[in-house]
A and B are shown apart, each in its own frame.
Chain A
Amino acid sequence: MSDLLPEMKPMTALGGDSPRADTHGPVTLTEVTHLALASVQARLGAEEACRKRLSDLLESDAPGVSELVMHDPEASFWIGPDQWMIGAPHDSHEDLAVQLTTRFGETASITEQNDAWAVFDLRGEVAPVMELLCPINIRKMAVHTVQRTAIDHLSCFVTRRATDHLRILGPRSSAGSLHHALVTAMKSAH
């Protein structure tokens, strides 16, 4: 009977069928919808073991304070003491939290974060835009680092994937407000 009911079609954070893209001058803002996310928090006393599992996963040291480790298919950034966010392609890792729970075993608490965030990629001449949005010292922000900051009163993560590429994660329920703030700043700065 349920076959006759509307299918479980996903909606993007901005309410569309497909990711939204906005270009203004030398900057482009793209909604990122292909990302699965999960948080990893080390269990008490298992911090080293957890870090080791994370290191194995990323084939690199676990991200230190304010660090981002790019890796395929899983990437990770630091979100707090013994806490990390892990991202992977949604198509292949929609059950990322389940996969990680298996992988980390008793060393960590894993929580699905797929849809907790509205995610945007800002590419191009990003510095003048970000200067209108948040107190991050954006011109000095190194590639492969992350900062937590407030944009339009919203708590966001800003990760620098490349000199001209930022990924911004903000609360999903305020995707529209965050998008408005970003686009407004793009138009104002350029």
Chain B
Amino acid sequence: MTQKNRLDGGQVNRAQQLNFTFDGKSYQGYEGDTLASALLANGVRLMGRSFKYHRPRGPLTAGSEEPNAIVELRTGARKEPNTRATTAELFDGLIAQSQNRWPTLAFDAMAINDKLSNFFAAGFYYKTFMWPAAFWEKVYEPIIRKAAGLGTLSLEPDPDSYDKGFLHCDLLIIGAGPAGLIAALTAGRAGAEVIVADEDFVLGGRLNSETFAVADQDGAEWAANTIAELSSLSNVRLMSRTTVLGAFDHGIYGALERVSDHLPVPPKNKPRQILWRIYCKQAIIAAGAIERPIAFENNDRPGIMLASAMRSYANRWAVTPAQRITIFTNNDDGHRTAADLHAKGVLIKAVIDTRTHAPKSDDYEIIAGATVTDTKGRLGLERVDVTDAQGKVRMLSCGALGVSGGWNPNVHLASHQRGRPSWNDQILAFRPSETLPRGMSAAGAAAGVFSTHGALDSGISVAVKALEAIGIKANAPALPRAEDATINITPFWHVEGATRAWLDQQNDVTVKDVKLAYQENFKSVEHLKRYTTLGMATDQGKTSNMGGLAIMAELAGKSIPEVGTTIFRPPYTPTAIGAFAGRSRDENFRPVRKTPSHAWAEEQGAVFVEVGMWLRAQWFPRPGEAHWRQSVDREVLQTRKSVGICDVTTLGKIDVQGTDAAPFLNKIYCNPFAKVPVGTVRYGLMLREDGIVMDDGTAARLAEDHFVVTTTTANAVSVYRHMEFVRQCLFPDLDVQLISTTEAWAQYSVAGPNARKLLQKVIDQEHDISNEAFPYMACGEISVGGIRARLFRISFSGELAYEIAVPTRYGDALVRRLMAAGEEFDAVVYGTEALSVMRIEKGHVAGNELNGTTTALNLGMGRMVNKKKDSIGSTLSEREGLNTDDALKLVGLRPVDLANPLPAGSHLMTKGDPVDAAHDQGYVTSACYSPHLGHHIALGYLKRGDTRMGEVIRLVSPLTGVDHDVEVVSAHFIDPEGERLRV
């Protein structure tokens, strides 16, 4: 098909023809086209169907404010629904599909909704789907979703990547029209660091869409020359295809750069988009203005568009939507469109001006004091019915109607921090008020200054002032000569008597819907929005909100500013979720922490588990082991029988030094730490200020003024933060210094009866680790193969055990050395599951027991809270409510029928009591199968548990149907006297 509506001139590159398809049909366009301009050039006005009534729709605009020409781009995993044809850059091979229609765009079965529109008025959902309540989820919602979906997702992972980035500047200029460009020139020449961001792929704003001269040059040419100078300045960064999405606190702006959207596929390793966070000292909103339509009967047919958009298509893209054009306006700007298109050789049927004193023309008819009262044309405009000042109706045959209802300054970014725009009677629009965020100012049309001269003038003055505020003196460049037309507009929002006159074309909200909302008392502008869905579509009502406000004002007998605007919120235009995620997706969702033995564990075929960011070996399957329990049971039994090795690097390690290190730890831990002998380790219980247990661990005293504190893996960061708080804020007079060394040391537990023998083979011979020389809870600095190391005789498993640490770079070597030395003992390596089984068997508490609700008393460690000293949490642990007679106490649980499991999370009930919350006696915190005992065991909290040893109670889980008898026993299932530790 030829490009029958392509005009002469424009900024498209005719040397570069591009092929594309729309709904399977092939077309040609040119480099520089958008999908919308290329389709219009090919005579295609119908580009979509509306959301609710499935009305045929074509583009209303030529920019990002587009409500109608919403399409799916690309295919396969890259298919993207809900993209605006008016901003989609054409590239060779682009595949576009219309959406929200079945079976075809021209014949859409769902258009029946339009015939039933009386049933689908505002509030339809709320009124219709109220009953029966049970129908909502199963019946109504699926039907509505099927009927109303806009586009379809590929349901495949997005193959593209997205970056996040950070930029800094003195001055951020949002919008590269005449105001923005000259502001940039002013600031750039003054040496300020400037960023200019514009959502378009060609900078220049309206200068590319108008025929105005600037400084005796064509406006677009002036823009190009200015851009060339700005490009030569190293302190100016020009960012096209970059939409500033939001204005946030402290001069921070979010901006989305569409790096590769104009290409079929992003280049290798390059992102599709970058979400920039821009830190600026000053910002100028020069985002221009958006023209608004007038509501009249059937004002939504393809071919009816904003007059300014029509001008953009003609001047920039050399396209007319039809060969015969009519204009409908309430202001002088509409006449510009008629003049420009006439100059391009397009037939202007008439300009219909609502004002009786309309400008005259010798080239085409002006119908003053008239309105458009109806239109015809099923899939595109064919006829416009005009009612003139005398009430006489005329029918004008035309293919397109340009509508101009005045211009709204783009106040969104100025209002993102709850700034309220103020009304201006001269332009009949809101513009940024004094409530602008700190450091922000507005220039040009965004400030309500609509002439080119005014825009240039305000761009300069606003830039000079903004720079002055940050101590940069700028000289104003010469003000280029440009048009300075005054604003001549008469209020006219909608044609009286219309029944189906669209305000929000994307969400199908009509004048009638607003009236209904008013009638049903949804009069607040925020209620109007929610009740009718006005402005709630992807275009956020950029072309529709003002119309709604104006009608509401009329109905309420108020002025428009009295009705007010809804709250403006980011993002300014729809933004892909992928851009917010950036590179944090899939396996890179968050960073991974690997232990020093990770590579070796992988060689052993370990199964890993995520513990926070850490990847820890969970168990190490051996050939023939088909179930994880087989691996874990073997690891436990062999450790208890001979020796096992486990990487415990993940435990937090905090270096505590200073002459007051001991008094400091005496504050941190509730049990005594003032007199820990050098060369020994002490178990410590740490309370929160409110008396609840925070963490437990050990502190090894390496010297009078030096401890190494260990924490649980989960609490490594929070304990360090707590200790820093205590050091800096509670006891700043103590001489103590803290630093984390978790990453610096690789640490392994060597546990089991043969642990010492194994270690004696591994460590350097001069170190005596006999029971006498290195007893239980000893610690010291040793060496391994000449490498400095630390040894701690501590045990989580309940066996004779040590933890040995070397600098992390030697961690891999150490595990290999330990395993080689352990061969003669059939040493095993064990993972976190076996670690957990052994600590439950031993009755040691862990995260499950230290769950943020339990006290030392609950743990059976009440007497550890030393009352001879003041420590954090000590006083509040005495609260009455934490010390009741029926307090929960940690107990062990054994099934009466040994075949029964004891699921963690089950609740404990006294036999004979009803199973309900009122009779709850406690709950199971940790459970496992004990290979040592040959049956399941559990730890749990039971009311008065310490006095109920031997009692048979019920373990229940009504949710999963568990109901077993269990016996209350000691939490120490093995070696309750601790003899194994001390051999």
Contact = CB atoms under 8 A, between A and B. Distances in A.
Interface of A: 1-2, 5-13, 15, 33, 39, 41-45, 83, 95, 109-117, 131-132, 134-137, 139-140, 152-154, 171-178, 180-181, 184-185, 187-188
A131 B279 CA distance: 12
13 contacts: A6-B816, A8-B786, A10-B809, A44-B736, A95-B788, A113-B744, A131-B166, A171-B593, A171-B743, A174-B592, A176-B594, A185-B163, A187-B269
B786 A137 contact: no
B784 A137 contact: no
B125 to A, nearest CB: 41
Interface string B102-125: 000000000000000000000000
Nearest to B162: A188
Interface string B815-835: 011001100000000000000
A117 B743 contact: yes
B814 A41 contact: no
Nearest to A171: B743
Interface string B746-782: 1000000000000001111100000000000000000
Given A11-B809, A45-B735, A116-B740, 18 more contacts: A2-B761, A2-B763, A2-B765, A5-B762, A6-B813, A8-B810, A11-B596, A11-B810, A11-B813, A44-B660, A112-B741, A113-B741, A132-B164, A132-B274, A135-B277, A152-B591, A173-B649, A181-B591
A187 B168 CA distance: 22
A160 to B, nearest CB: 15
Interface of B: 161, 163-168, 269-271, 274, 277, 279, 583-584, 588, 590-596, 598-599, 613-614, 649, 655, 657-660, 705-706, 733-737, 739-746, 761-765, 784-788, 806-814, 816-817, 820-821
A6 B165 contact: no
Nearest to A46: B735
Contact of A111 (B657, B660, B742): B657
A130 B736 CA distance: 36
Given A7-B813, A114-B744, A153-B591, A188 B163 contact: yes
Contacts of B741: 111-113, 116
B203 to A, nearest CB: 21
The 10 closest A-B pairs by CB, nearest first: A109-B657, A177-B591, A115-B808, A44-B735, A187-B269, A8-B785, A116-B744, A41-B737, A173-B593, A10-B809
A176 B614 CA distance: 12
A120 B660 CA distance: 36
Interface of B is mostly: mixed
A46 B868 CA distance: 32
Contact of B806 (A8, A33, A83): A8
Contact of A174 (B593, B705, B788): B593
Given A112-B744, A115-B745, A187-B269, A8 B813 contact: yes
Given A6-B820, A187-B269, A43 B737 contact: yes
B739 A111 contact: yes
B762 A2 contact: yes
Nearest to B615: A173
A140 to B, nearest CB: 7
A152 B591 CA distance: 7
Nearest to B583: A184
Contact of A154 (B271, B591, B763, B814): B591
A115 B591 contact: no
Nearest to A81: B728
A43 B735 contact: yes
A8 B734 contact: no
B821 A5 contact: yes
B374 to A, nearest CB: 54
Given A39-B739, A111-B741, A9 B813 contact: yes
Contacts of B655: 109, 111
B613 A174 contact: yes
Given A7-B785, A111-B741, A41 B657 contact: yes
A44 B658 contact: yes
Contact of A180 (B164, B588, B659): B588
Contacts of A174: 591-594, 613
Nearest to A15: B599
Contact of A8 (B649, B814, B821): B814
B829 to A, nearest CB: 15
Contacts of A116: 740-744, 808
A187 B583 CA distance: 13
A117 B810 CA distance: 14
Contacts of B584: 153
B689 to A, nearest CB: 24
A42 B788 CA distance: 25
A134 B814 CA distance: 36
Nearest to B167: A131
A172 B808 contact: yes
Nearest to B266: A188
Contacts of A42: 737
Contacts of A44: 658-660, 733-736
A73 B613 CA distance: 36
B789 to A, nearest CB: 9
Contacts of B743: 115-117, 171-173
Contacts of B734: 44
A20 to B, nearest CB: 14
A115 B584 CA distance: 27
A83 B727 CA distance: 15
B594 A173 contact: yes
Contact of A11 (B163, B279, B811): B811
A45 B861 CA distance: 38
Contacts of B814: 8
Contacts of B706: 109
Contacts of B788: 95
A152 to B, nearest CB: 6
A176 B762 contact: no
B807 A114 contact: yes
A15 B277 CA distance: 34
Contacts of B816: 6
B739 A41 contact: yes
B163 A132 contact: yes
Nearest to B808: A115
A29 B381 CA distance: 61
A2 B764 contact: yes
A43 B658 contact: yes
Contacts of A134: 166
B593 A5 contact: no
Contacts of A41: 657, 737, 739
Nearest to A8: B785
A185 B161 CA distance: 11
Contacts of B279: 135, 137
A117 B740 CA distance: 11
Most chain B Cβ neighbours within 10 Å, of A44, A171, A173, A176: A173
A185 B809 CA distance: 27
Contacts of A171: 593, 743
